[in-house]
Chain A
Amino acid sequence: MIFGLIDKLRRSRAGGNPYFASRSARYGFPPARERRGALLLSLCLVAGAASADKLKSGVFEPPRAAPEIALGAADGSAFKLANYRGKVVVLEFGYTHCTDVCPVSLASLAQARRKMGPDAAGLQVVFITVDPARDTAPHLRAYLAKFDPSFVGLTGSQAQVDAVLKAYGIAATRKPIEGSKTDYTMHHSSYLYFVDRQGMLRALMPFGRPADEMVHDAKLLLQN
């Protein structure tokens, strides 16, 4: 409104005299209001692009190489993280008896892959058990297939799993269930670890973030 009044005043002052006309009219620039609008629009676009370019996850600066994972895959083959160069790998540490965290994260990851469409081929989800005593390879394979058949499950001996957990700085502790001598739950890290196409550990996404944010970060890492 203020800019409109100023323009009106300028036009009334000009009265046909080119000297009093605005500089934009004299020199053939776009009117000041349009220039301001264009400047504002470009600033908004730059700001929008900057925020779109940022990962929603927590990021490491500088990133380090993701530690190699020497475990067996649920299909019986030997897993090697280095074989997935060129793909974005999302690591989830959990266990199949988990009732609150793991199924929610796996379901969100499956949803994210569906939302990614053809780009989903560039995203590999790897589920690493923190409870190898109960998560045998066949059990892990059947469990993950319920979410997405492309998910890879990893298990091994307790010592092998402990070595991987240590390399990623993950704590997993066994908590006995009250009233039972054999049953227990595992308290474990609920983060999702994003490894980029070059094998660098780039980001950690806290538990509970929506599938859209997973899609956003996975796509961004696929572009870089």
Chain B
Amino acid sequence: MNHAFRRHWLACSLAACALGVLLWGALAPLRFATRDQLFEIPKGTWARRMAGDKVEILPARIRLTLGVQDVLLLRNSDTVPQIFGPVLIMPGQDFRLPFEQASDYQFACSAHASGQMTVAVVALPDPGWNRLRWRVDALVDAIRVFDKGMNRLWKN
């Protein structure tokens, strides 16, 4: 066995690392610095829109998790009032919407082609498969956001 390990030490180490990551993903508690999930209209957004730039800040689907990150925080850091998702927010104003029940919430949102925005509020996942799947979904969401940001940068 020792001999086999020496021959395949790299594969064994990789397998051990993968197992460690899976175990961490399935069992480690979920921690966030804040329960707010922030979406911010940066300064200059209105000017960019007026110049014909298509600025998308709110995704059509937002996922929140009860007890971990269950408050939708919309912030207008621009210099003019903005209709952000379903509400009119003044410059320098925040709108903080808490959720207490797991469900899909539909909001009218003129910024999206469908005219709707969905806030999917999910229950806190139990340790094990559910928590692992939750982390994979969060990773996929993060990659999507990163990819969109890179595409925007590439276009500019």
The CA-CA distance from A57 to B97 in the complex, in Å, is: 6
Task: Report yes or no: A169 in contact with B93, Cβ–Cβ below 8 A.
Answer: no
Tell me if A61 counts as interface (CB < 8 A to partner B). yes
Tell me if B67 counts as interface (CB < 8 A to partner A). no
Tell me if A171 counts as interface (CB < 8 A to partner B). yes
Task: Report yes or no: A58 in contact with B97, Cβ–Cβ below 8 A.
Answer: yes
Instruction: Write the B94-107 contact mask toward A (1 if CB under 8 angstroms, else 0).
Output: 11111010000101
The CA-CA distance from A96 to B90 in the complex, in Å, is: 30
Which of these, B87, B97, B100, contacts A169 with CB under 8 Å?
A: B87
Tell me if A89 counts as interface (CB < 8 A to partner B). no
Tell me if A64 counts as interface (CB < 8 A to partner B). yes
CB of B85 to closest CB in A, whole Å: 10
Which of these, A61, A187, A190, contacts B93 with CB under 8 Å?
A: A61
Tell me if A8 counts as interface (CB < 8 A to partner B). no
Task: Report yes or no: B88 in contact with A168, Cβ–Cβ below 8 A.
Answer: yes
Known contacts A169-B88, A189-B86; A58/B98 CB under 8 A: yes
CB of A168 to closest CB in B, whole Å: 7
Chain A count of residues within 8 A CB distance of the other chain: 19
- A-side contacts of B110, CB under 8 Å: 171
Task: Report yes or no: B93 in contact with A64, Cβ–Cβ below 8 A.
Answer: yes
Task: Report yes or no: B107 in contact with A206, Cβ–Cβ below 8 A.
Answer: yes
The CA-CA distance from A85 to B83 in the complex, in Å, is: 27
- B-side contacts of A6, CB under 8 Å: none
Which of these, A54, A59, A171, contacts B95 with CB under 8 Å?
A: A59
Tell me if A191 counts as interface (CB < 8 A to partner B). yes
Tell me if A117 counts as interface (CB < 8 A to partner B). no
Instruction: Write the B121-138 contact mask toward A (1 if CB under 8 angstroms, else 0).
Output: 000000000000000000
Task: Report yes or no: B95 in contact with A58, Cβ–Cβ below 8 A.
Answer: yes
In the complex, residue of chain B having the shortest beta-carbon distance to the beta carbon of A190: B108
CB of A53 to closest CB in B, whole Å: 13
Tell me if A204 counts as interface (CB < 8 A to partner B). yes
Tell me if B44 counts as interface (CB < 8 A to partner A). no
In the complex, residue of chain A having the shortest beta-carbon distance to the beta carbon of B105: A206
CB of B141 to closest CB in A, whole Å: 22
Tell me if A56 counts as interface (CB < 8 A to partner B). yes
Tell me if B81 counts as interface (CB < 8 A to partner A). yes
Tell me if A62 counts as interface (CB < 8 A to partner B). yes
Task: Report yes or no: B98 in contact with A54, Cβ–Cβ below 8 A.
Answer: yes
The CA-CA distance from A206 to B106 in the complex, in Å, is: 10
The CA-CA distance from A169 to B95 in the complex, in Å, is: 14
CB of B101 to closest CB in A, whole Å: 10
CB of B16 to closest CB in A, whole Å: 34
- B-side contacts of A187, CB under 8 Å: 108
In the complex, residue of chain A having the shortest beta-carbon distance to the beta carbon of B115: A187
Instruction: Write the A44-64 contact mask toward B (1 if CB under 8 angstroms, else 0).
Output: 000000000010111111101
Supply 5 further A-B pairs (C-beta < 8 A) apart from A171-B110, A191-B87, A206-B107: A56-B100, A58-B96, A60-B93, A206-B86, A206-B105
Top 3 nearest A-B pairs (CB, nearest first) are A169-B88, A58-B97, A61-B94
Chain A residues with CB under 8 Å of chain B are 54, 56-62, 64, 168-171, 187, 189-191, 204, 206
Report 21 cross-chain contacts, Cβ distance below 8 Å, ordered by A residue.
Answer: A54-B98, A58-B72, A58-B87, A58-B96, A58-B98, A59-B96, A60-B89, A61-B93, A61-B94, A61-B96, A64-B90, A169-B81, A169-B88, A171-B108, A171-B110, A187-B108, A189-B86, A204-B87, A206-B86, A206-B97, A206-B107
